[in-house]
Amino acid sequence: MRDHLSQSRVIHCLLLAVPFVAVALALRGLSRDFWVYQGYDELVHYQTVLAAAAQWPRPLLSGYYSWSGPLVYWLIATLARPFGTSLAAARLVVMMMSWATCVTAYVILRDRLGAKPLVALALSLVLALSPFFFGESFRVLTDNPTWLFVALALERLLAYVRRPVLSRLAVFAACAAVATLMRQVSVWLFLPALVALVSVPSSARRRAAGLLILALGLVPLAGLVVYWGGATAGGGVGPAASPLEFRVRNVLMALAVVGLWSLLVIPSEELKALPVKLGRRGLTAVGIGAAVCMAALAAHAMRSLGGGDPYGIGIVGRLSESLRGPLGTSLSWWVLAPVGTAAVVALAATRWRSLSDRILVTGLAGLLVTAAANGTWFQRYVDFPVLLILVALAASAGVPWRSVDRVRLAGVVIISVFWTAAVALSVLAS
């Protein structure tokens, strides 16, 4: 009986639902507000959901104030429609999609990457309780619905490299297309897909068919961009029409997020083995990557922040407020951004042989590149997919989990608790 409980997928999926159900009940059926980072955005997003519901089933393609794509509003409006599209109903839809994201992550970890059932469950719970995911599950925000289709796309792509059947690639393309119609920068998903297509053994004819499938997956986003006359519903790209300094700054901040979570997620046994795995060339590449990153920091790439944390960019921004550093740049950037750069280079150098790992590493690189597309940057734009990819790479490492690793993983949840408390105190004080 005990073995059955530790192996049962159904029971594990129900356990993943427990944190969500507990908070929903505490909030009286989601009729009360949950303190969450940038929760004030809910007003704009919910009004857009109501506008989409008013003209349902026709999608609301323009005329709304948001950088998110129209499909996320149409989908929430559609699923909440049987309940009258009330605020509580829309929140319930987002919460259920958040739970489904965690279930999909569990499938990735257990079935696609071979993690032990309890390990997959524990890692999925860490993702569920992460700082920029759990709180967003109880408000009408557009992040978590997007992450659901990002996770579904990655699951299908990892399934494809295990058994390269074109139907799996087609489902990936469909999920990725949905994700790009929710958040346009999700286009990074097609980079690991292209790597997967050229990496798996296949005939030239099937590879051409796969390339056509991926191209078709980009058609909906391309059509939307042409219809808008730009990358957002308002046309153009808004603040994204910024100098190169802003682009570099955004990538450095995304690298800092990689640095923060890699310190807590990558297993200690893998860290110990890295010098041997990397060898002289690999260590040189890591050193060069970190040096380039530090050169960008020394060139005042972060000065556009204007000091401190002017627009609440997230945990890494809050850290920069209290940690001063040389050349007018916070010590948190000097530490976390080079660590993130080193982690990306090291993972690329040591994980390229495995097809599954290759997909994850290329996905991480694509995610970092598209971070430059945003004129303004918030940690929640990249936090969950970065953490998902790092957790997946940790699960596929094939090394034992030590007690120190469990403590470090618990650190992700502890940071989430403190972050939520800080947001709550900020809201109460205002």
SS (H, E, C) 108-128: HHHHHCCCCHHHHHHHHHHHH
d(CA 20, CA 2): 25
Taking the CA atoms of the chain, what radius of gyration do you get in angstroms? 21
SS (H, E, C) 178-212: HHHHHCHHHHHHHHHHHHHHHHCCCCHHHHHHHHH
For the record, the structure tokens of 250 come out as: 């955004």
Residues 98 and 21 sit within 8 Å (Cβ to Cβ):
no
At 389 the pLDDT is 98
Scanning the structure block, which residue is given the tokens 């007003």? 43
Q: How far apart are CA 330 and CA 327, in angstroms?
A: 9
Domain extents in the chain: 238-399
Distance CA 23, CA 29 (A): 9
What DSSP designation does 85 have? T
Distances (CA, A) of 75 to 97, 105, 195, 270: 11, 21, 30, 41
How many angstroms separate the CA atoms of 237 and 167, rounded?
A: 34
CA distances for 214 relative to 107, 135, 220, 396, angstroms: 23, 33, 12, 26
pLDDT reported for residue 224: 93
Q: Show the DSSP H helices in 327-402 as ranges.
A: 331-350, 355-370, 383-395
First to last CA, the chain: 52
- How many C-beta neighbours within 10 Å does residue 266 have? 22
The per-residue pLDDT string of the chain (430 residues; one tens digit each, 9 = 90 and over) reads 566 667 899 999 999 999 999 999 999 999 998 888 888 889 999 999 999 999 999 999 988 888 899 999 999 999 999 988 899 999 999 999 999 999 999 999 999 999 999 999 999 999 999 999 999 999 999 999 999 999 999 999 999 999 999 999 999 999 999 999 999 999 999 999 999 999 999 899 999 999 999 999 999 999 999 998 887 776 544 444 456 777 888 899 999 999 999 999 999 999 999 999 999 999 999 999 999 999 988 887 676 554 443 446 788 887 777 777 777 778 888 999 999 999 999 999 999 999 999 999 999 999 999 988 776 778 889 999 999 999 999 999 988 999 999 999 999 999 999 988 888 887 777 6
**Inter-residue contact 115 to 101 (CB < 8 Å):** no
Q: What is the pLDDT of residue 237?
A: 44
The pairs formed by 282-289 with CB atoms below 8 angstroms and a separation of 24 or more are 282/346, 282/349, 282/350, 285/345, 285/349, 286/342, 286/345, 286/346, 286/349, 289/341, 289/342, 289/344, 289/345
Chain position carrying tokens 């850290």: 319
SS3 241: coil
Question: Is the Cβ–Cβ distance between 382 and 254 less than 8 Å?
Answer: yes
- What's the CA gap between 5 and 8, in Å, rounded? 5
pLDDT score recorded for residue 84: 86
pLDDT reported for residue 315: 86
